[in-house]
Amino acid sequence: MRVYGGRVHRWTRWPLRITASVAALLLFDQAVYAGQFLAGTFPALHTHRENATFAGIAVLVAGAAAALVRWPGRGPVWPLFAFLGLFGLIAAQIALGFLRILALHIPLGVLIILGGLLLAAWSWRYRPAGEPS
């Protein structure tokens, strides 16, 4: 397929789909581990803390994949900013968790997981312009 000004790199969707899905899963896992330590399983607190780091890294990697969708993929740039914004929220979320400001930590966590799931869903629905649906 040829588009004015250059080639659409359709393959760039795949790194995003994979990394965004992994990020969404790791973010959702935070709720799973939180539920477990609230049920009294002490080691789940440690897992919750460790997985926060992994989820943050996964969101950054997904952001890099979103950059590929834009360059060279010629797709929209907003997903890149969305993942970077999500990463910023995660940094704040980790700080709130360590400070035990749970009245903010829990609603923000719900928002972050929702954001991660929406971005992953978008990555699977996204089609470059000009591609037949």
Partner 1 sequence: MSLSRRRLLGGLSAIGAASVAGIQILSGVRGSSSTGELLPSRRALPEPFTLPFRVPPVLSPVRSDATGDHYRVTQRAATAEILPGVRTPIWGYEGQFPGPTIRSVRGRRTVVTHRNELPVPVVVHLHGGHTPATEDGFPTDLLYPAGWTGAHEPMDGVMTHGSRDYAYPMAQPSATLWYHDHRMDFTGPAVWRGLAGFHLITDPAEASLALPSGDRDLPIMIADRSFDADGSLLYPSLDPTLLHTPGVREPYGSGVLGDVILVNGVPWPITEVPAARHRLRLLNASNARRYRLALDPPAPLVQIGADNGLLESPIRHDAIEIAPAQRFDVVVDFGRFRPGDVVTLRNEFGDRTTTPVMRFRVRPADGPDPSRIPDRPAAAPAPAGPVAVTRDLRFRHGTVNGMPGWTINGEPFDPGRAVAAPRLGDTEIWRLSSDFHHPIHLHLASFRVLSRGIAGPGAYDHGPKDTIDLRPAEQASILVRFTDHPGRYVFHCHNLEHEDMGMMGVFAVR
Closer to partner 1 by CB, 39 or 103: give it: 39
Footprint of partner 1 (CB under 8 A): 17, 21, 24-25, 28-29, 32, 35-45, 100, 124, 131, 133
Closer to partner 1 by CB, 13 or 86: give it: 13
Identify the residue whose tokens are 């979103």: 66
Q: How far is the CB of 90 from partner 1 (least distance, A)?
A: 18
Comparing CA positions, the residue from 73, 71, 82 lying closest to residue 128 is: 73
Q: How far is the CB of 127 from partner 1 (least distance, A)?
A: 8
Q: How far is the CB of 19 from partner 1 (least distance, A)?
A: 12
Rounded Cα distance, 89 and 99, in Å: 15
- Environment class of 107 (CB within 10 Å of its CB; exposed 0-12, middle 13-18, buried 19+): exposed
| Paired strand residues for 3 | 6
Closer to partner 1 by CB, 45 or 81: give it: 45
